[in-house]
Chains A and B, each alone.
Chain A
């Protein structure tokens, strides 16, 4: 079965510091996509970053970057220079090619001034 595991229910970080959120997944597929979504308290889910499994280079979007380890089936999100607006639930999601998204249980990130 394809599963996504986020082992950190909650994380906290000081403003301007760096935090890493962990995600592991289980699949027998070789072609798939991985995503990190942010869900602020207003509940509108926003895509933060995506990674294609066939790409060896880790994706980066401004202050957000991933560490994609395909063999280990690990996909962590690093947030640099954390800001108060980064506080939210973060969901890791996996999608086999053209199939449905499978989400993890989420990590609540708190950012302290």
Chain B
């Protein structure tokens, strides 16, 4: 069974630029999560989707971050414009449902200069 796929693996941008990350969850997983992991910290949930709908986006900085889940499968997370403090690893995870084990992707390391 293929795992959670993410791309790109690494991205370096200048502040105020835009960037997008892509996630393909495990087939059949209804729930998809985006986490931000700043160096030295544990992952923090940014947004959670259940199929197409948003379940929790309480910690998503909505003035610059946006996310969508296309047809309940793939998802993209966008930052526009990026700030220095957005430098982090962005992890995508998926699960069969909300109360089930989450499977994580390899993450995208973003560096904002």
| A residues lining the B interface (CB < 8 Å) | 4, 42-47, 50, 91, 93, 97-98, 100-101, 103-106
Closest to B59 in A: A100
Of B42, B56, B89, B109, most buried by chain A (CB within 10 Å of CB) is B42
- A-B contact list, 22 entries, CB within 8 Å: A4-B42, A43-B89, A43-B91, A43-B109, A44-B3, A44-B104, A44-B105, A45-B93, A46-B104, A47-B101, A47-B102, A50-B101, A93-B42, A97-B99, A98-B98, A101-B43, A101-B45, A101-B102, A103-B42, A103-B43, A105-B42, A106-B41
**CB <8 Å contact, B91 and A45:** yes
**CB <8 Å contact, B44 and A103:** yes
**CB <8 Å contact, B48 and A100:** yes
Complex Cα spacing A100 to B102, Å:
11
Give the residues in chain B near A45, CB-CB below 8 Å. 43, 91, 93, 104
Closest Cβ of chain A to B30, distance in Å, is 13
A100-B106 in contact given A47-B101, A105-B40 (Cβ < 8 Å) = no
Complex Cα spacing A104 to B44, Å:
10
Q: Which residue from B3, B42, B99 sits with its C-beta under 8 Å from A104?
A: B42
Give the residues in chain A near B93, CB-CB below 8 Å. 45
Q: Which residue from B40, B98, B102, B106 sits with its C-beta under 8 Å from A43?
A: B106
Q: B70-113, CB under 8 A of A: which get 1 and which 0?
A: 00000000000000000001010100001101101111010000
**CB <8 Å contact, A91 and B104:** no
**CB <8 Å contact, A43 and B107:** yes
